[in-house]
Amino acid sequence: FDTAGTTRRAFVAGSASFFGLAVASPMAFADELSLDEALSPRVLGQSDAPIHVAEYYSMTCGHCADFHNNTFPKVKARLIDEGIVRFEMRPFPLDGLALRAHALARAVPESKFFAMVKMLLAKHAVWVRAEDPIAELQKMARLAGVNADIFNAVMRNRPLLEGLVAQRQIGIDKWGVSSTPSFVVNDDLLISGNKNYDDFAEALSAFGA
């Protein structure tokens, strides 16, 4: 899905208009989680792993869901858990719904982030295609211990949403990311597209994987 032509300002404005945020007053972020914490890097693996992989992904991207449901378990078992790869997930929302789902994943404690992403992508077809996808997101939020007040605050939190869009823009400006999933390896190589495990590992082989 090519979105590089969408500017940060237009993307935020479009999302705000679609969800009625243009006239909504900013709401305080959940007391349990500061904005800085919510926007901090989400990384899995050992800090001294020789290979750093940063994935730009969108919660509404079917290719991203397929990668995480089918390829990522092998990546985790064979590369991350073995201390070869440190894996970071960076938001690249493709639309307003994806933006809200990314915000929800950032609303849970950092220790539960990857479990939350796993659940959202495993149930991707359920909530993305639902008649009321926000209501479906709220159901999953309850399972993760996010109550209705916090959920509603997160869905309408402009600083958080704009912070996530800003991270997306960095992917465009610095790495030329134009589709999801895309992977930046050791701040050097950009790998684009959904990969099976063998192809993904082969792409990392130049870095010692």
Task: Tell me the per-residue pLDDT of 46-60, one tens digit each, with 9 for 90 and over.
Answer: 999 999 999 999 999
User: At 145, is the pLDDT very low, low, confident or very high (cuts 50, 70, 90)?
Assistant: confident
Task: Tell me the per-residue pLDDT of 20-49, one tens digit each, with 9 for 90 and over.
Answer: 343 333 334 444 568 999 999 999 999 999
Is 5 a residue whose pLDDT tops 60? no
Is 18 a residue whose pLDDT tops 50? no
Query: Which pLDDT score is estimated for 206?
Result: 87
Task: Tell me the per-residue pLDDT of 188-204, one tens digit each, with 9 for 90 and over.
Answer: 989 999 999 999 999 99
Question: What is the Rg, in whole angstroms, of the alpha carbon atoms belonging to the chain?
Answer: 17
Asked if residue 184 lies in contact with residue 190, where contact means CB atoms within 8 angstroms, the answer is yes
Q: Report the topology of domain 8-207.
A: Glutaredoxin (3.40.30)
Query: Which pLDDT score is estimated for 39?
Result: 96
Asked if residue 55 lies in contact with residue 183, where contact means CB atoms within 8 angstroms, the answer is yes
CA distances from 194 to 37, 90, 175 (A): 29, 16, 17
User: At 17, is the pLDDT very low, low, confident or very high (cuts 50, 70, 90)?
Assistant: very low
Is 167 a residue whose pLDDT tops 60? yes
Asked if residue 108 lies in contact with residue 145, where contact means CB atoms within 8 angstroms, the answer is yes
153-172 average pLDDT score: 95
Is 80 a residue whose pLDDT tops 60? yes
> What percent of the chain is modeled with pLDDT above 90?
77
pTM of the model: 0.85
Is 13 a residue whose pLDDT tops 90? no
DSSP letter for 56, please: E
> What percent of the chain is modeled with pLDDT above 70?
84
Residue 203: φ, ψ to 5°: -65, -30
Task: Tell me the per-residue pLDDT of 93-141, one tens digit each, with 9 for 90 and over.
Answer: 999 999 999 999 998 889 999 999 999 999 999 999 999 999 999 999 9
Name 91's bridge partners.
Answer: 57
